[in-house]
Structure 1
Amino acid sequence: MATNSLYEIIDTRFADKILGSARLEELHGGCRWTEGPVWFADHDCLYFSDIPNEQVLRYLPADNSVSTFLRPSQFANGHTRDREGRLISCEHGTRSVTRIETDGSTTVLADQFEGRRLNSPNDVIVKSDGSIWFTDPSYGIISDYEGYASAQEQPVQGVYRVDPDSGEVTLVVGDFLQPNGLAFSPDERRLYVADSGASHRTDAARHIRAFSLTPEGMIESEIGPFAVIDAGIPDGFRVDADGWIWCSAGDGVHVFDDTGKLCGKIRVPQTVSNLTFGGRRGNRLFITATTSLYAVYVNTRAAPRP
């Protein structure tokens, strides 16, 4: 094992994923809880949430500036970009998943299941077939800090799929304590979902679960607990081009290979909530951590979309 102030190398293969001369940069501070980073290459910018301050911010690398993109944001948390270049967001305030159209209007993609309101959609991804997958823990309704304290109507905290043609919302996994970040493997034959329930129950597992998908893109079976976080809890994460998982944790970013082995860590001075790959060459890791936005250049990039 090799360590320095920024990296902990547990498996020597991790050394090939990082750049020894790169430094961790704090790009913006003064937020309350940053989340949901998403890179828009065509705009050369990053959008991210400051949930308690109810705003979505925009970072421009060209001049290293941060400005307000959306306020009020309905306590938006996770975001993604669909295949048409539209911003899809999880809103705690409205308990919904929404999409900003090219004309600036907003479309509600999901706000209920079986006639009952969702809990508080947290993170969201889009599959190559256009289906939208999101997690629905209860964080946004348990207090007035990141949403509105409200009664839970759903009997579970689940993972859902929105059909790209009919818009039908389907519960795909319903046995999570608190489902959080989620991502597909590069070939989309696996779905990974973090369970962050240890945030409120100390005896809960701190892991990412893995599920195999059918060729049609539906859940086939659970592979089992895939990767375990040994500091803090798993929140948001991303998969790189080699199928490795880069996951948020209490002491930084934990990096696992495609078998779930912990290979290394990037130390961050604040608790990490989420991250994404971006920048002009896709090799800049943007990290949301408590009150700040950080970035570090790495020797990999996000998994290409099928």
Structure 2
Amino acid sequence: MKLGRRQFLSSTLALAAVSSAPHVLAYSPSQAMPLRRYPDNAWKIEDERFKELYVFNTPLERHWTGGLWLEGPAWNAVGRYAVFSDIPRANQMRWDEATGQVSVLRRHVGHSNGNAFDNQGRLLACEHYPARVLRYEWDGSTTVLASHYQGKPLNAPNDLIVLSSGGIIFTDPGYGAHVDYEGRERELELKPAIYYIDDTLDEPILLTDEIYKPNGIVLTPDGKGFYASDTAPSHFPDQPAAIIRWTLGQDGKSVSDRKEIVTNQKETYDGLACDVEGNIWSSASGGEGVDGVAIFSPEGTLLGRILLPEVCANVCFVGEDRNRLLMTASQSIYTLYTATRGA
């Protein structure tokens, strides 16, 4: 199409007007993130060894907010997404690493808490009410793996791990039974405990009830044991919060060598992850200067912290290289690149 002189001048002036409008095409300072210096203030070094684990030039990223109480992140390496739970809303959520988008994966999921993917890539979830451990099958159906022990209903399964054998170990502290917010208020009929279950069993095997409030759980890097957090102070004020290690029997159906790795009266630990060196990355709460993630050596020495503006409930390593820590923190999810990899 051939433009006349008048049309050409009109078009030129219109383009000039648009290009001079900063809110349309040009960079707008109001849309920029607040300036932050490296290293990010989220990092807090407590031990010189932590300098081998943190990255100097990476920012703490807040990807989404709007939850009520976020928990249970689990990484799916094939799909490059993480599943996490908004427990009060009874929603399973999905964070897509490639796009950064967060969406609802499932609604009305029984106030599910901890999530994991089994050795076949199927999603496992701990539900508070009805109290059960559930598996989502490839055809869209569900299988209830555990709901009762010795004829009594489970308290409110919280978190779980998958063994190389396919067996599952889960914690059952009962938080979803204490108030009508994250489940259904009711009297606990069982002691808080840690259980084993697999497809060959009609009911779980009790591994240990020598723990006040078993909460987060993670395998040791060699798979021969596991750590579990004890959030005892929530209901037993005289007892310290703890991170405890057990050795697994060869078949995964028994435990021994109970050892308290970390105890603390001033802060509480919940969700856990391990890196390839065996360090423990635990969510931590206790007020400003504590809320976020505490990182411990395998022997229990505090190495460092990741400080967040919200209480952190759980963590997991995500990404192609498993070197990015995803944190579910109260109402928001955050990530931070690290100098190590998840085990």
Q: Does 1:236 align with 2:236?
A: no
Residues 62-84 of structure 1: per-residue CA shift (max 9 Å, x gap): 22111100101210000011000
Runs of 4+ in 1 over 6 A off after TM superposition: none
The number of equivalent residue pairs is: 300
Secondary structure of 1:15 counterpart: helix
CA RMSD of aligned residues (A): 1.5
Please state if 1:288 is matched with 2:328: yes
Q: Are the equivalent residues in 2 in contact too, given 1:211–1:219 (CA < 8 A)?
A: no
Q: What is the identity, as a one-letter code, of the residue corresponding to 1:75?
A: H
Determine if contact 2:87/2:111 at 8 Å carries over to the other structure.
yes
Larger Rg: 2
- Paired amino acid for 2:334: Y
For 1:267, which of 289, 307, 316 is the aligned residue?
307
Q: Could you tell me how far 1:227 is from its partner in structure 2?
A: 1.6
Per-residue deviation at 1:168?
4.1
Moved more, 80-89 or 214-223: 214-223
* Residues in 2 aligned to 1:121 and 1:288: alpha-carbon distance in whole angstroms: 18
- Secondary structure of 2:134's partner? strand
Bigger shift: residues 220-229 or 273-282 = 220-229
Residue in structure 2 matched with residue 72 of structure 1 by the alignment: 108
Q: Secondary structure at the match of 2:233?
A: helix
User: Higher helix fraction: Structure 1 or Structure 2?
Assistant: 2
Instruction: With the length of structure 2 as denominator, give the TM-score of the two structures.
Output: 0.84
In 1, Cα distance between equivalents of 2:255 and 2:242: 20
2:211 match = 176
Mind listing any 5+ residue stretches in structure 1 that lack a counterpart? none
8 Å contact kept, 1:229–1:254: no
Query: Percent identity at matched positions?
Result: 38
Match of 1:60 among 92, 96, 113: 96
How far apart are 1:266 and its partner, in Å? 0.9
Higher relative contact order (CA 8 A, sep 6+): 1
CA contact (8 A) 1:27 1:292 kept: yes
Q: What is the 5 A alignment of 1:186-197?
A: 186-197=221-232
Q: Which runs of 5+ in 2 are unaligned?
A: 1-38, 286-290
Q: Is the 8 A contact 1:190 1:212 kept in 2?
A: yes
How far apart, in 1, do the equivalents of 2:232 and 2:193 lie? 12
What's 2:136 paired with? 100
Name the CA shift for 1:39/1:4 in 2 (closer, same or farther; >3 Å). Answer: closer
Question: 1:68 & 1:266 partners in 2: Cα distance?
Answer: 27
SS at match of 1:14: helix
State the match for 2:76 in structure 1: 40
Q: Which TM-score applies when normalising by structure 1?
A: 0.94
- Corresponding residue for 2:123? 87
CA deviation after TM superposition for structure 1 residue 167, in Å: 5.0
- Matches of residues 112-191 of structure 1 in structure 2 within 5 Å? 112-154=148-190, 156-191=191-226
